[in-house]
Amino acid sequence: MKIENNIDTFNSLIKRRGFIWGPSPEVYGGFAGFYSYGPAGMALKNNILDLFRRECRYFGFGEVECPTIMPSIVWEASGHLERFIDPVMRCNKCTTLYRADKFFQENLPDIVIEGLSSKEMETLIKKHNLFCPKCGTPFEKIEEYNLMLKTSVGNNVTAYLRPETATTTYLLFNRLDQDARRQYPIKIFQYGKAYRNEISPRQGVLRMRAFDQFELQLFISKQQEMEFEDYDEIKNKKLPLLCWKLQEEGVNKPDLISLDEALKNKIIKKPAYAYCLYIGYYLTEILGIPQELIRLRQHSINERAHYADDAWDLEIETRQFGWVEICGIHDRTDYDLRRHAEFSKQNFEVSMGSDPNLKEIPQVLEIAFGIDRIIYVLLETTFNVEEGRINLKLKPNLAPNVVAVFPLVRNKENIRNLALKVHRNLLENRIGSFYDTAGSIGKRYRRQDELGTKWCITIDYESLDDNTVTIRERDSMDQTRVNISDLSEIIKMKQEE
């Protein structure tokens, strides 16, 4: 295929080089909404996760992992059973599907729809003789479209695959309270699969039916939200904020303002929430996504999830899909813990300050990343074509290979042997090295450029005489000569930079 700086070249690259494949299973024609990662994509994903886990430890978050399947009562309590099931009407003749509540709203504007049961809606259909606008067939029944994937466990017990990891983290609350010795705020994250039965998944890995979430949770008191201990450290950080008001005025460029300013202007209500916005932004920035492609966009009241008091999306501007949400930051209040306390008949009121008699249900602040979306936007934003050369400008530590080692020519045994020795030595030092002898040296450089490998090490004739090798840098293509004995140390140092 012709190498051009366009989206077709990019889309072919991520398949060709083993980043993302699908829809899976491809040999059976594919199943919409399900994708696989090849070796390069998985290496990239693991590097992102390593980085995120390291940074979460730095911010004081502990990690948990919960089951992906939970019984119905959990989702009743969380509100997902109610909110994730949409009432729909299906035309018996042309099988077109309509959202019942929306259809009523448009066609019967005088009637209050909210809270109506399926039976009541069916009565409305008959009373007003509602029919399919496409073919004129009268509607009959209200059906349910469930955005959660239903399954049955054991002896026909209904259960659901989790539509988010967050809820499963909240269910550990009383354990976490003990585990953290009641030192609030409690900071916990969970990484894992979540499932949503999208009606029509599109846009590749951006809207999958099985996807990875990486969600950070803060359990915190109301007082701590307003007097947050770490706020001072981050209050002068400037973030690209696009608040709801600006959006209403038709603005879509964010304001780069400090969190303190945002708080003073009442764009943000709570210092602890501001801290969450910062963590979301920080974790995005260290992936190497250019600042000008990042914005934090506040949800309007209508856009917010059922549990949210305030919500901002962290979005990345892409060529192929416009602004893409990679992270949602939600003020979930005490909604979840209150509901789970109620449904499980547990007492989740705890003392979080110095007065042991002052008890309340903790507030929850959430930072929820979609890992697959991160992988997509990272690949797309680092993709470059420079004079016919594909260059994936990933940060060195995220690239599938840290270095690649080549003999300058293949048909000289002594050069080949030395190259292999250098490669093995790097591996001994646990540096991710890839060895390649096929084709010309230029071709091998290009192959690595496509994977984002930052440094290529070449063993040439000079190496045989003085034990030096060249390190070729990906973006500049400049080469420096170093001693083989120093190589591992130098690469490790470069990685730290």
Q: Which two tokens stand for residue 451?
A: 């994977």
Q: Which two tokens stand for residue 219?
A: 């359990």
CA 271 to CA 277: how far, in whole Å? 10
Q: Give the shortest CB-366-to-RNA separation in angstroms.
A: 10
- Cβ atoms of 225 and 193 within 8 Å: the answer is no
Binding letters toward RNA, positions 401-440, x by CB under 7 A:
-------xxxx--------------------------xxx
- Cβ atoms of 127 and 104 within 8 Å: the answer is no
Determine if 102 is a binding residue for RNA (CB under 7 A): yes
Nearer to RNA, 164 or 225 (CB): 164
SS3 118: helix
CA 204 to CA 46: how far, in whole Å? 20
Residue 211: beta bridge partners?
A: 194
Nearer to RNA, 55 or 198 (CB): 198
DSSP-assigned letters across all residues of 341-404? HHHHT----EE-SS-TT-EEPPEEEEEEEEHHHHHHHHHHHHEEEETTEEEE---TTTSS-SEE
Q: Which of 196, 235, 270, 454 touches RNA by CB under 7 A?
A: 196
Q: Give the shortest CB-334-to-RNA separation in angstroms.
A: 17
Q: Give the shortest CB-38-to-RNA separation in angstroms.
A: 10
Q: Give the shortest CB-269-to-RNA separation in angstroms.
A: 20
Buried b (16+ CB within 10 A) or exposed e, 190-200: bbbebbbbeee
Q: Which of 94, 251, 256, 493 touches RNA by CB under 7 A?
A: 94
Q: Give the shortest CB-236-to-RNA separation in angstroms.
A: 30
Q: Give the shortest CB-204-to-RNA separation in angstroms.
A: 6
SS3 474: coil
Instruction: Find the binding residues for RNA in span 262-301 (CB under 7 A).
Output: none
Which residue stretch of 66-74, 201-209, 217-225, 486-494 sits at the interface with RNA (rule: CB under 7 A)? 201-209
CA 238 to CA 333: how far, in whole Å? 25
Beta strand 238-242 with 350-351: parallel, antiparallel or unpaired?
Answer: unpaired
Nearer to RNA, 73 or 257 (CB): 73
Nearer to RNA, 105 or 223 (CB): 105
Instruction: Find the binding residues for RNA in span 372-401 (CB under 7 A).
Output: 388-390
Nearer to RNA, 149 or 257 (CB): 149
Nearer to RNA, 50 or 478 (CB): 478
Instruction: Find the binding residues for RNA in span 317-336 (CB under 7 A).
Output: 328
Q: Which two tokens stand for residue 18?
A: 């083993």
Q: Give the shortest CB-163-to-RNA separation in angstroms.
A: 6
Determine if 97 is a binding residue for RNA (CB under 7 A): yes
Buried b (16+ CB within 10 A) or exposed e, 211-235: bbbbbbbbbbbeebbeebeebeebb
Determine if 76 is a binding residue for RNA (CB under 7 A): no
Q: Give the shortest CB-445-to-RNA separation in angstroms.
A: 4
Nearer to RNA, 138 or 388 (CB): 388
DSSP-assigned letters across all residues of 287-346? TT--GGGEEEEEPPTTTS-TT-SEEEEEEEEETTTEEEEEEEEEEEETHHHHHHHHHHT-
Gyration radius from the chain CA atoms: 27
Sign of the Cα pseudo-torsion (221, 225, 231, 237, in order):
positive
Q: Which of 184, 273, 445, 455 touches RNA by CB under 7 A?
A: 445
Chain residues binding RNA by CB under 7 A are 1-3, 8, 11-12, 15-16, 23, 29-33, 80, 83-84, 86, 94-99, 102, 134, 147, 163-164, 196, 198-204, 207, 305-306, 328, 368, 388-390, 408-411, 438-443, 445-447, 450, 458, 460-462, 469-470, 472, 477-479
